[in-house]
Amino acid sequence: MKARALAVSALSLAMLFVTSPAVSAPSSGCASVTIDITTGTATVAPGTTIGIHGQIANCSAHKERYTLTVSAMSSCGQKASLATSRLAFNPDQTLIWAVSYPMPVDTCTGPWEATASVSDNGGTQARELSGARTSASTTITIQ
């Protein structure tokens, strides 16, 4: 009788572990980003509206949310925050993004660098995997 009670208890305990799913840590994202500037010419004048665009790829096998931040810096240190957006991704999904930016008339001449960066829900840059980049930059000349 004691052996039977022990067997029933062991079986009940085993069923408890089988029916309770294991809890896992939140996934750490995996993303890459590209950026390009479309103007039609290699140089632009202050006051010109430019197109900045690129892609963000979720290289994770899970749904993820990433924050895209697009910023810029002129050759004389003028900083600009161009856009910030929170995006939801399905596994292995790639999204195209675009920003239209009117170059301020007081932008100094010389190189102007735009940067796109991707961060995960923790606020840190999404981890890089297989050479994936979490930030990218491109430069245009202001003349």
All structural domains of the chain with their residue ranges: 30-142
Query: Does the pTM of the predicted model rise above 0.85?
Result: no
- Which of 10-14, 103-107, 131-135 shows the highest mean pLDDT? 103-107
Lowest mean pLDDT segment, chosen from 31-45, 99-113, 128-142: 128-142
Cβ-Cβ contacts under 8 Å for 70 (sequence gap 6 or more): 35, 52, 81, 82, 83, 84, 99, 114, 115, 116
Return the CATH number of the domain spanning residue range 30-142. Answer: 2.60.40.3880
